[in-house]
Amino acid sequence: MLLRHTSTNVVERNALTVNPAKTCQPIGAMYAALGIHRCLPHSHGSQGCCAYHRSTLTRHYKEPVMAGTSSFTEGSSVFGGQSNLLQALDNLFTVYDPDVVAVHTTCLSETIGDDIPQIADKAREKGLIPAGKYVIHANTPSYAGSHVTGFSTMVRAMVDYLAEPSAAKTQAVNIIPGWVEPSDMREIKRLCWQMGVEATVFPDTSDVLDAPQTGEYEFYPKGGVTVGELKQTGSAMATLALGHTASSAAARALDTKCGVPCEILDLPIGLSATDRFVDALRRTTNVTVPQYVEDERGRVVDIVTDMHQYFSGRRVALWGDPDQLVSLTEFLVDLDMRPVYIVTGTPGKKFLKRIDKALDGRVPEAKVRQGPGADMFLMHQWIKNEPVDLLIGNTYGKYISRDDGIPLIRHGFPILDRIGHSYFPTVGYAGAMRLLEKILDAVLSREDRESPEESFELVM
Ligand code: SF4
């Protein structure tokens, strides 16, 4: 009953966020950097920031997350962090031998105004960066944007620093998967493999943050896109970027830098968005969609038709990242459900327009908010005024779930108190089946638990 004092009286707030539906930029930059093979993320700021970012990723993935920190003290806060970063780069390359150090900034180093490319140039001049090794960087001030912004900026940095232009194009496509789980990246690769599409997925955290237990600790797990593969993204025939907020910046940068045309798609979560992704793969690479993939789609449609009566009309509240919310909303509308409350703390253009399109005019009562005031407190107030049947969002929703007795499906970032997200995808047709199972399980378990004795049945 932690949130029992949430008031039903909704007051417009201009300068206060309560329980934000986002977290800070460097977490996204760190997550993206871990999707490069033999990359060591580095936090240019105080130790506390780095500890928070590492621990949140570690708690979400249940895997050790390694990163360096410039360990700012009072002195570096006043005079700048150049000497700390130079020392850090020397230590990191000498002791840990990464192929890439991916530096991201924090609120403090951004406020000071440290110029990371200039410091990296100085490190190279001083011979602190060995030949064949790379330092890339992303500016990630957390007083703007969110973890998704940080992710997007670091993915763009991979293009800016490493992609190499080439006049001769190959048959490969680049896929920028957006902020999804390692399981989702694995599923995207599986779908490409089934369709006979040669794809470079970047970043790729599969086999990094879902690495198998072998009894041996590997500082650099086997997964991740390699530097060589990142260089070759400039030779690809096309780029498919999944998720407008997280992936479009990198895709457009690659087009500008290397002349690789791009198509920006929604995250392939749910039936319609996966259909569009599969169709884009088919059109771009001129392959035929194999029967196996069509059968998988058919199984999704079968579940939807078999269980339609349990989906229809259920009211859902969602919070999280814009790209995930757009695709989830479309999927829920496809299921004849009613996504009535949708909030994201991540700013960004066109989110409201995209949600509007996903709602397709079929949920006129839907309330959608984005930005600083779009927090979980507001969403809880809406729920208190008019309840919902289901919550879909990260672990922080468990307080609302407990307070109001509403089932919660954990989806998005962070999920700190359950496993599964690293191992089972929610993208593609396989992911759609998993989501359908989770929704049905949540809705029907509640009916089994709460329906009165006289209407309790073997099959509800
Ligand atoms: S909000 Fe800023 S100061 Fe706080 S942890 Fe994030 S980067 Fe560090």
Q: How many C-beta neighbours within 10 Å does residue 413 have?
A: 26
- What is the C-alpha separation between 181 and 161, in angstroms, rounded? 24
Give the mean pLDDT of 361-389. 96
Q: Which amino acid is at 301?
A: V
As a whole-number percent, the residues of the chain with pLDDT over 70 amount to: 100
Residue 173 is predicted with a pLDDT of: 98
Mean pLDDT of the chain: 97
Q: Is 142 in the pocket of ligand 1 (CB under 6 A)?
A: yes
Residue 126 is predicted with a pLDDT of: 98
- What is the C-alpha separation between 198 and 47, in angstroms, rounded? 41
Q: What would the pLDDT profile of 72-96 be if each residue is shown by its tens digit? A: 999 998 999 999 999 999 999 999 9
284 and 306 together in one domain? no
207 and 346 together in one domain? no
Tell the residue nearest (CA) to atom 4 of ligand 1: 49
263 and 329 together in one domain? no
Residue 15 belongs to a domain: no
Residue 61 belongs to a domain: yes
Question: 445: domain CATH number?
Answer: 3.40.50.1980
Q: Is 49 in the pocket of ligand 1 (CB under 6 A)?
A: yes
Domain boundary among 159, 193, 212: 159
Q: Is 112 in the pocket of ligand 1 (CB under 6 A)?
A: no
CB-based contacts of 75: which residues, under 8 Å, 6+ apart? none
Tell the residue nearest (CA) to atom 3 of ligand 1: 107
Give the mean pLDDT of 137-148. 97
Residue 439 is predicted with a pLDDT of: 98
Residue 279 belongs to a domain: yes
Task: Give distance in angstroms: CA of 300 to centre of ligand 1.
Answer: 41
- Which residues, listed in sequence order, are joined to residue 215 by a DSSP beta bridge? none
Number of domains, the chain: 3
430 and 320 together in one domain? yes
321 and 407 together in one domain? yes
As a whole-number percent, the residues of the chain with pLDDT over 90 amount to: 96
Q: Are 203 and 32 in contact (CB under 8 A)?
A: yes
Q: Is 52 in the pocket of ligand 1 (CB under 6 A)?
A: yes
Residue 236 is predicted with a pLDDT of: 98
Residue 407 belongs to a domain: yes
Residue 1 is predicted with a pLDDT of: 62
Lowest-confidence range among 54-58, 345-349, 385-389, 424-428? 345-349
SS3 of 129-189: the string is: CCCCCEEEEECCCCCCCCHHHHHHHHHHHHHHHHCCCCCCCCCCEEEECCCCCHHHHHHHH
Q: Is 29 in the pocket of ligand 1 (CB under 6 A)?
A: no
Tell the residue nearest (CA) to atom 8 of ligand 1: 49
Q: Give the range of the structural domain holding residue 335, as residue numbers without chain letter.
A: 295-454
> What is residue 370's three-state secondary structure?
strand
Q: How confident is the model at residue 4 (pLDDT cuts 50, 70, 90)?
A: confident
Q: Is 57 in the pocket of ligand 1 (CB under 6 A)?
A: no
17, 56, 106: which to mutate for ligand 1, most atoms within 8 A of CB? 106
Q: Is 145 in the pocket of ligand 1 (CB under 6 A)?
A: no
Residue 366 is predicted with a pLDDT of: 98
Q: What would the pLDDT profile of 186-225 be if each residue is shown by its tens digit? A: 999 999 999 999 999 999 999 999 999 999 999 999 999 9
- What is the C-alpha separation between 32 and 42, in angstroms, rounded? 12
